[in-house]
Amino acid sequence: MLLSNRVAIITGGAKGIGRGIALKFAAEGCSIVIADVAMKEAKDTLNEVIKKGRDGLAIQCDVTNSVQVKGVVNSAISKFDKIDILVNNAGGMPSAAPPIENMPDEEWDRVIALNLKSDFLFCKAVVPHMKEKRYGKIINISSSGAISPPKHSIHYNAAKAGVIGFTYDLAGALAFFNINVNAILPGLIRTAFYDPLLGPMSDQQKDAFFANSSRIVPMQRAGTPDDIAGAALFLASDLGAYVTGTTLLVTGGMPLTPQVPQQKHQERNPA
């Protein structure tokens, strides 16, 4: 197993990409600490982790609150005596963003806190323990929108761009301590993340939305949480032991332009 006897904290691990990473890591021998506000889903994910023969915790946490963040880290240390892996996955994008001249200061602060400050708070709390053990893997989930915004959402895209700069700086600062710090930039990944944007759509309408959106993806499909989890597993395991300070696009080829053969195009879009 690639993560035998490792311990990981995964923020936003209750559902979507975070859940996918939690289950992938558990299948590879890792104990999982889920930090999330959605406790029902967090407990459901933890039950799946336990079914895979691993131990874990599900802890309710506002990732923008330093006291609650420290509580998660202390609970993990108390139970497992170490933290090997930190996945900063928690985040969220508002359903709509006003033009910058109309954006309330409070909305800017809230989105920046959720998507960027949360990474800072968890790293601040976890890094001393990793330094003591002289081992650690930190994976920050950014977004392809940080470098190629698909729509105007300036607070979200700015926060995710900040995650990249944060990753580069921290990687340089921690390399001496054998702590790897990297970022994953997901593209179009089908999860409940899009529900606020899609509104009260039926499953059939959502299928149509993702099928249509996938036309701009060179691989011609939306990604899955498992696609991101596979990349995270590489970075969290010894397979990525000499990789630090990098950003990994997991986007199906975006922002490359799709090159769809005419025959295949006709097959996908019959008259």
Does residue 156 have an active-site annotation? Answer: yes
Category of 144 on φ-ψ map: left (φ > 0), alpha (ψ -120 to 50) or beta: alpha
Q: Are 143 and 157 in contact (CB under 8 A)?
A: yes
Tell me the mean pLDDT in the region 54-68. Answer: 98
Q: What is the mean pLDDT of the chain?
A: 93
Q: What is the pLDDT of residue 271?
A: 47
Residue 18 has pLDDT above 90, yes or no: yes
pTM of this prediction? 0.92
pLDDT tens for each residue of 254-263? 988 888 787 6
Q: Which residues contact 125 (CB under 8 A, 6 or more apart)?
A: 66, 69, 70, 72, 73
pLDDT tens for each residue of 226-245? 999 999 999 999 999 999 99
Q: In this structure, which amino acid lies at residue 26?
A: A
Four-residue CA torsion sign, 185, 163, 232, 206: negative
Report the candidate in 167, 158, 209, 161 with the shortest Cα–Cα distance to residue 188: 209
Q: Exactly one of 156, 168, 194, 242 is catalytic; which is it?
A: 156
Q: Which domains does the chain have, with CATH numbers?
A: 7-268 (3.40.50.720)
Question: What is the gyration radius of the CA atoms in the chain, in angstroms?
Answer: 19
Q: In this structure, which amino acid lies at residue 182?
A: N
